[in-house]
Amino acid sequence: MNFKSIFLLGFGLSLAQAGLAVQEPEVKLEFIQTSHRSSFPPLMRVAINNAAYTPLNLVDRAKSSELVIDGKPFWRKEVPFEGPPGLPAMGHWEACVPIEDYTVSIPPGRHHVFLRMGSAQSNEVTVDWSLPLNWRKGNLKTRMKEVRDMADALTKGLPRSCVEDWLTVKDGGDQDSSPVRYFLEPFIKVLVPYAHEGGSGLDAEVVDGPAQVYQENSFRE
């Protein structure tokens, strides 16, 4: 820990000991989804910014969080939290949080959603929710179309952990850190470039440009 971090941590603890009000974190909510209904379900992207001079216990906030849909709260299940245990003063974290972590089954249609974490509350977003399609009921042409639609949704700055909620299988062979090549059935490959934003793990890497989609039989190494 460097001198600046030690100073901010000590200053934050002094404020807390002095009984001053704790500054709530800023929580931002966004849904990532394809422009047309597809086999790729919507992703819930959550960004948390700890603008306070005190550390934030992120695990406790996550455990007590509620997803509020059309005014009705749904609590978080007792499932492991995949993010960091806490955020330092002035720290930031973002990733995609599974909807399945909450006790809710969202029916198809338009819904108003926000996330509550203790006294902190995210922005409210409107999401057009739909159940995933079975791509196997189409053909290669319709499959390629939905994969390209998915690739367009992988905008610059999106955490790699979000991307890999959709692209779960890496292509075989040794790969450089960027771009990363993924495989989708049948015979489709997707190349995604990443940049490192500091920190460690998948949440420290973000999309750094347009994803490319190829049919495997026309792909050239």
Mean of all residue pLDDT scores within the chain: 86
| Domain limits, the chain | 1-133, 134-221
* Predicted local confidence at residue 204, as pLDDT: 80
* Residues in CB range of 56: below 8 A, 6 or more apart: 25, 48, 50, 86, 87, 91
Phi and psi, residue 148, nearest 5°: -65, -35
What is the C-alpha to C-alpha distance for residues 35 and 148, in angstroms, rounded to an integer?
Answer: 10
* Predicted local confidence at residue 1, as pLDDT: 45
Residue 158 in this model has a pLDDT that exceeds 80: yes
CATH of domain 1-133: 2.60.40
Mean pLDDT check: name the lowest of 10-14, 118-122, 129-133.
10-14
pLDDT band at 14 (very low <50, low <70, confident <90, very high): very low
Q: b or e along 142-165 (b: 16 or more beta carbons within 10 Å of the residue's beta carbon)?
A: ebbebbebbbebbeeebbbbbbbb
Tell me the range of 7-16, 138-147, 212-221 where mean pLDDT is highest: 138-147
Q: From residue 109, how far is each of 38, 123, 133 by CA, in Å?
A: 15, 20, 15
Residue 12 in this model has a pLDDT that exceeds 70: no
